[in-house]
Chains A and B, each alone.
Chain A
Amino acid sequence: LQLVESGGNLIQPGKSLRLSCTASGFSFNDYAMQWVRQAPGKGLEWVAGISWNGDDERYADSVKGRFTISRDNAENSLSLQMNSLRVDDTAVYYCAKGSSWEVRVPRMDAWGQGTTVIVSS
């Protein structure tokens, strides 16, 4: 099982960025997926989650209205479209596999290595 994130970059406040996560080694379309971030020196913060078929999306209040999670089950990929980026969005962004099909996953049983987003002028 492998999750590989990409798309992280240094970007100016107010700009947009799209992160991707490519999954392999499991039946991607059977499981919900999550994005979790970690600001430098800080703890883990859940960002967004999506159900197995994309019908249910949920977001942390801190990103609601700015970020959009999506998935392409045909391509085994997960995305996070981040708009109106702020300095406090600076973090390592992890994609994580949920243990069930619904967004409210009991646990996240596999994590990618993370991709770094730095929002700075």
Chain B
Amino acid sequence: EIVLTQSPVTLSLSPGDSATLTCRASQSVSSFYLAWYQQKPGQSPRLLIFGAGSRASGIPERFSGTASETDFTLTISRLEPEDFAVYYCQFSGSSITFGGGTKVEI
């Protein structure tokens, strides 16, 4: 089973900063099955990035993703107040796995 490890656990930044979030897979995986989600307090998760680098519908251009065989990165350039949230990566293999999450806080 693939294990996804997200780092850092918490990222303390200010509006206007850039955020770099990492998701490391325990073995080489296809980026086609890798996605990122945003979850704000009291809300459901929302799809942000899929296929490692494609933005979901309505997602601003300041969100971007890159991928290698085991390392996946979500970058948020110029943080807006509404971007402070928890971010999860997810991989679909024989089962579906989520990373532990990264909280981006002010």
Residues in A lying within 8 Å of B, measured CB to CB: 34, 36, 43-46, 49, 58-60, 94, 96, 99, 104-114
Q: Inside 8 A of B45's CB, which chain A residues have their CB? A: 36, 44, 94, 96, 108, 111
Q: Inside 8 A of B94's CB, which chain A residues have their CB? A: 58, 104
Name the CB-closest residue of A to B39.
A44
Contact check, B100 vs A43: say whether CB atoms are below 8 A apart. yes
Contact check, A109 vs B44: say whether CB atoms are below 8 A apart. no
Knowing A104-B93, A106-B51, A107-B50, say if A44 contacts B98 (CB, 8 Å). yes
Q: Inside 8 A of A58's CB, which chain B residues have their CB? A: 94-95
Q: Inside 8 A of A107's CB, which chain B residues have their CB? A: 35, 47, 50-51, 56, 90, 92
Contact check, B35 vs A108: say whether CB atoms are below 8 A apart. yes
Q: Inside 8 A of A46's CB, which chain B residues have their CB? A: 90, 95-98
Give the docked Cα–Cα distance between A45 and B95 (Å).
Answer: 11
Q: Which applies to chain A's interface (DSSP): helix, strand, loop or mixed?
A: strand
B78 within 8 A of A: no
Contact check, B33 vs A104: say whether CB atoms are below 8 A apart. yes
Q: Inside 8 A of B101's CB, which chain A residues have their CB? A: 43-44
Knowing A107-B35, A111-B44, say if A99 contacts B50 (CB, 8 Å). yes
Q: Inside 8 A of B50's CB, which chain A residues have their CB? A: 99, 106-107, 109
| Listed A/B pairs (6) with beta-carbon separation below 8 Å | A34-B96, A43-B101, A46-B90, A46-B98, A106-B50, A108-B37
Q: Smallest Cβ distance from A48 to chain B, in angstroms?
A: 9
Q: Mark B62-106, 1 if CB is under 8 A from A, else 0.
A: 000000000000000000000000101010111111111100000
Give the docked Cα–Cα distance between A113 and B37 (Å).
Answer: 15
Contact check, A109 vs B56: say whether CB atoms are below 8 A apart. yes
Contact check, B88 vs A111: say whether CB atoms are below 8 A apart. no
Q: Inside 8 A of A111's CB, which chain B residues have their CB? A: 44-46
Q: Smallest Cβ distance from A89 to chain B, in angstroms?
A: 17
Knowing A99-B50, A104-B92, A106-B92, say if A112 contacts B98 (CB, 8 Å). no
Q: Inside 8 A of B90's CB, which chain A residues have their CB? A: 44, 46, 107-108
Contact check, A45 vs B93: say whether CB atoms are below 8 A apart. no
Give the docked Cα–Cα distance between A109 and B51 (Å).
Answer: 12
